[in-house]
Structure 1
Amino acid sequence: MTGGSGRVWAHVGQTFTEEAYDVVVVGAGRLGTACALFLRQLAPGLRLLLVERGGLPNEEGATILAPGVWTTLDVPSGREAEAAWVRAQVAGGFGTVQFQPRPLLSLHGEEGPGRVPTPAVLTRFPEAAPLLNPQALPWAELDEAAVTFRPGALALACGQEAVRAGADLLLNTHAHLVPGGLRLDRLTVTNTHQIVTHETRELRAEVVIVAMGAEGPHAAEHDLGLHTAHGRAYRQTPRLNTPSDDATPVLRAGGLTLRPQHGGFTLIPPIHHRDPHGYLPTGGRLTGVPVGLRRETLEDLIRLMDALPPLASEALEVGHSLADVPGAWLALPHGRTDTPPLHQQLTEGVHLLLGGPLADTLGLAVAYDLAATVAGRGGRPWGRSG
């Protein structure tokens, strides 16, 4: 297949009879869809299939709840060119993605390099003043180059463009890794709203790219018996109903990101450590009352209530149970909270693609790097080779 649009199988009523592909990408989050698109651009002669357990984009993974904040403050040393390339791609490479330049204020309790007194910065952003206590956070860093975007929209745009470029797309299908390819369970919904396997079939693939987010390392370990050093953590994104508008900057304090969104703020809590295998998140208690915020997240917010007074008000949505507060499992490359996205060859023909906490800043570059590796292309558009 070298030209024309790819085929889409959205439900079990559409018969899927394919037996083999050159490359199969498992997972339609932003990294999986971007990798599929880049592969079609770099190696249009390869037969490529994108498989997703749900719809496009992935509806259950961290992509939908990712912060969508690109900032120079998240760029590791030596990877500035990659990060700048990612920013340019989000800004102009995908026409349907809403991309909004929005300054980011990182607030601190202590003086440090590049920090200025918080009151001086607030003269430029008076709308941020009611959100914070300058006495508790007297120092600030300002990133004028920061932008916000919707990672879910990015995944959708990449997936649609990959199909237009010739990639096939198989939705509502659970993929299991097997030597030499995949076992596919095509899913359907019964009249009692249960998700069941309608049919199972084997698919051969020369290369499988596992872009399943936090489920990827577990799939490799469970299906192929491979050990990985990667972990995961459950991250919730509660809502703060304090007014925001297009002029409100992104705020950070104590690792907490306040992302202006839908007239209020989406809170992105810090990730301190990986959750142990088998851990099930549970809600905590606030003044003895059960709430939907997991205990670790609740403790972080309580610790910041003096610095960010609205957190101590009714503007914070805490819910009554875990189901009331959006949350998803987040992949942690190497089990760490500060490791950039990565790709790794697990065994012959099987590659793992992981995003993690820094996916907003570097994810697309890592997806491109893997696509170029699979395609046998050495050059990288940000000037790095290898």
Structure 2
Amino acid sequence: MTSARPPGRVWAHVGQPFTPGTDPQAPYDVLILGAGRMGSALALTLTEHAPHLKTLLVEEGGLPNEDGATILAPGIWTTAHLPESQHGAARWTLERLRDLLGDDLQPRPYLTLHDQPAPNTQPTRDLLGAHPQSLALLDPEALPHARAHEAHTYRPGTLAQVAAQSAIRRGTDLLLNTSATPHPGGRVTLERLTVTNTHQVVTHDIHTIHAPLIVLATGAHAPAQAEHHLGVHTRHARAYRQTPHLAAPSTEAAPVLHARGLTLRPQHGAYTLIPPIHHRDPHGYAPQGGHLTGVPTGLRRETLEDLVGLMDALPPLATSDLHLGRSLADIPGAWLALPGGQPDATPTHQRLDDHTHLLLGGPHADTLGLWTADELARNIAGEVGRR
């Protein structure tokens, strides 16, 4: 059952004074920090499982906030790399994606390529017979076996925007362009720039508000926030992943290809390369580029080694179609949360203290993120109901 409350308020630009509510001590029941797809999805599901709660969604930038790799490459729903035990949650997520995105969720072939026979594989040439451009990407003798999986692609940024807008229509407030710092005891400091209507003077606006429940949904930055501001050490981590561009031609019907950890995602008539994550990066790590024949590429050494190791199986990687760039800024990259500190971990949520929960997406957010957000919303509804 959804809420009958009026639509929520939106403070979108610096000219709107922030007026959180009539109760200065606790104007909201829940504060969600981060309006990416995880935070926005949580805001929406709270309107369904606990419509009576007053919720504020806080975002440091604008909407949609799905930066780096997630906005540059299409999200892909697939169970190809999940154990059977998680397929039910993945199917639930797929139905939810259909409800929220409609025609923006597109079916697309997804092939895992192998150099040895594996269960349910077929000859690569047979599966790619209808996609000659995709077949030209690889050496069928080096990767002679392939397996087809169900998959659907969508834009994570679109999902974040649709979920946030739906939550607002059901009563959630949204505060943009605001940096939020959590503190112990259910307290959050909000810092934003505002402009007075009369004199157009830019001022630094600071608010401190309290809430019984706070959710850190700030992606890869959330574990560090928990440690630095709440004094809570978590087992979670983050990694910096770059996504090089491959200028080989693709079509709207071209399949996603996955070979030895590297994913080739069709996008804008070419491909975005999603390399594997090998390990966590320590806090404070500054991404560094590598060198290829003495030329600075701006690419991480691990990623460069992966691409070099695949050049025989995927010949276009050895041509000028692979855009490595000449500086770090030339290659898109983004921090990625690693729930549990593991490179292939699934989305999770965790209670940090009496007032704070942590919500993380990570590598499998495309397939399981909505399920995890809904699970936390159900837990919060039950928690509030027991009070």
Q: Do both share a fold (TM > 0.5)?
A: yes
User: Percent sequence identity over matched residues?
Assistant: 58
Note if 1:86 corresponds to 2:93.
yes
Query: In the alignment, which residue of structure 2 is the partner of 1:57?
Result: 64
Cα distance change on mapping 1:34 and 1:24 into 2, 3 Å: same
Output one character per residue of 1:348-381: Cα deviation in whole Å (capped at 9) or x when no partner: 1210000111111101000000011111289xxx
Query: In the alignment, which residue of structure 1 is the partner of 2:370?
Result: 364
Query: In the alignment, which residue of structure 1 is the partner of 2:77?
Result: 70
SS at structure 1 position matched to 2:168: helix
Once the 2 structures are TM-superposed, how far is the Cα of residue 283 of structure 1 from its aligned partner? 1.3
TM-score (norm 1): 0.92
The AA in structure 2 aligned to 1:4 is P
SS at structure 2 position matched to 1:78: helix
Which of residues 141, 162, 176 is equivalent to 2:181? 176
* More off after superposition, 208-217 vs 10-19: 10-19
What is the count of residue pairs matched by the alignment?
A: 370
The AA in structure 1 aligned to 2:176 is L
CA distance in 1, matches of 2:194, 2:301: 36
Output one character per residue of 1:74-113: Cα deviation in whole Å (capped at 9) or x when no partner: 3233121110111112123334x61110110100112222
Once the 2 structures are TM-superposed, how far is the Cα of residue 197 of structure 1 from its aligned partner? 7.7
Gaps of 5+ in 1: 190-195, 379-386
Contact (CA 8 Å) 2:69, 2:242: kept in 1 or not? no
Output one character per residue of 1:35-90: Cα deviation in whole Å (capped at 9) or x when no partner: 00110122111100000000011154654246511112132331211101111121
Contact (CA 8 Å) 2:344, 2:364: kept in 1 or not? yes
Note if 1:265 corresponds to 2:261.
no
* More off after superposition, 65-74 vs 340-349: 65-74
CA distance in 2, matches of 1:188, 1:293: 39
Query: In the alignment, which residue of structure 1 is the partner of 2:9?
Result: 7
SS at structure 2 position matched to 1:292: coil
Once the 2 structures are TM-superposed, how far is the Cα of residue 126 of structure 1 from its aligned partner? 2.7
The AA in structure 1 aligned to 2:6 is G
Cα distance change on mapping 1:309 and 1:215 into 2, 3 Å: same
**Pairing 1:1-386 to 2, within 5 Å after superposition:** 2-18=4-20, 19=24, 20-60=27-67, 63-65=70-72, 67-95=74-102, 98-143=104-149, 145-178=150-183, 179-187=185-193, 198-376=204-382
The AA in structure 2 aligned to 1:374 is I
Contact (CA 8 Å) 2:11, 2:18: kept in 1 or not? yes
Output one character per residue of 1:236-260: Cα deviation in whole Å (capped at 9) or x when no partner: 1111111111221110111111111
CA distance in 1, matches of 2:19, 2:347: 34
The AA in structure 1 aligned to 2:55 is L
Gaps of 5+ in 2: 196-201
Contact (CA 8 Å) 2:298, 2:328: kept in 1 or not? yes
Cα distance change on mapping 1:108 and 1:332 into 2, 3 Å: same
Contact (CA 8 Å) 2:15, 2:194: kept in 1 or not? no
The root-mean-square deviation of aligned C-alpha atoms, in Å, is 1.9
